[in-house]
Amino acid sequence: MAKTTRGKGLWNTPSRGRGTCPVCQSTRIKCLHTNVTEVGAQLKVCKKCRNKDL
Ligand SMILES: [Zn+2]
């Protein structure tokens, strides 16, 4: 699988892949990973939160 979270591919994403993580509230972090919550909602989270149970 290609690296989807690194390099120039990010420049095509909204705000170039950066934002505030909804889980840990880190600002200006790359929120590129999808974590599915208990209720089935998909959140775009940072690398630190991608393996957390939500
Ligand atoms: Zn996070």
Predicted confidence (pLDDT) per residue in 9-51, tens digit = 999 988 999 999 999 999 999 999 999 999 999 999 999 999 9
Distance 13 CA to ligand 1 centre (A): 18
Distance 34 CA to ligand 1 centre (A): 11
**Is 2 a residue whose pLDDT tops 90?**
no
pLDDT for 8 equals 92
* Alpha-carbon gap, residue 16 to 10, rounded angstroms: 5
- What are the b/e assignments for 13-33, b being 16+ CB within 10 Å? eeeebebebbbeebeebbbbb
* β-strand partners of 18: 30
**Is 1 a residue whose pLDDT tops 70?**
no
Write down the pTM of the prediction: 0.82
